[in-house]
Amino acid sequence: MPSNRRALVTGASAGIGEAFARELARRGHDLVLTARRADRLEALAQELRDRHAIEAIVAPLDLARPDGPEALVAALEAQGLTIDVLVNNAGYGVPGYFNEQPWSTHAAFIQVLMTAPTELAYRLLPGMKARGYGRIVNVASLAGHVPGSAGHTLYAASKAYLIKFSQSLALEGKGTGVHTTAVCPGFTYSEFHDVTGSRNLVSKMPAFMWMDALTVARQGLDAVDAGTAVYVNGGVNRAIKTLFKLLPDGLALKMIERQGRRFRTGAHTG
């Protein structure tokens, strides 16, 4: 990617989002960082300003707000700031069976993981196409390539959506200078499993199953630059994706069911 571009990273206060911000800054990009935790955003922004001499703007926002994406883009436009790279990373998991949570919890989840990234892409695409350059990275997951499991009911579904959405945008962007990629990591060292309360359970996974967030970010940015519509991080994860693609649906679902029982935090949580 050339320098002097500006990137918007959602969920930039920790984990993969923070890693994307660090790698984009290292590559010379100015940044707009958004997440709910303003103090962590500002600390990261200041560090990246000092280290890489780039401009880093903090825009605290809860993307669960239905008006959040529109308000954010309007604020950027009011300041005359264009976005060349969009990293839709914000996300989390909701453990438990589907009907154990109130609908408001699921509605907020859908807003953050599906509606917000879709709307941000919709609102920023026209400018990218007009300038003849744009990069959209949708942070999906290996979970979007395998059958959904009991518990975390909407997680795999939301990631599968991002994968299909990215494929369509990638095709629509042909010849416009705008590339779209769904980045699909597997187990990644971050705060994700602490937030969902599954840290002790997933820690049982062997070390070779895990990747670090910075490697995921670097590979993702290289993939979108290369025009790769879907990129699965890591050889192990690519092998898992291929295996489940080849298995009959019924057998694949039984395997997920069996594996899911090992990582259930309770009788009705996942």
Sorted by where each starts, the structural domains of the chain and their CATH numbers stand as 6-262 (3.40.50.720)
What integer is the mean pLDDT of 87-93?
97
Inform me whether the pLDDT recorded for 221 exceeds 50: yes
Inter-residue contact 234 to 186 (CB < 8 Å): yes
CA distance 231 to 154: 21
CA distance 154 to 103: 12
In our burial notation (b when 16+ CB lie closer than 10 A, e otherwise), range 48-67 reads: beeebebbbbbbebebbeee
Amino acid at 22: R
The model's pLDDT over 112-132, given as tens digits with 9 standing for 90+, comes to 999 999 999 999 999 999 999
**pLDDT of the residue at 198:** 46
CA distance 78 to 72: 10
Annotated catalytic sites, by residue?
155
What integer is the mean pLDDT of 2-22?
92
Of 41-45, 84-88, 251-255, which range is least confident?
251-255
- This model's pTM is above 0.85: yes
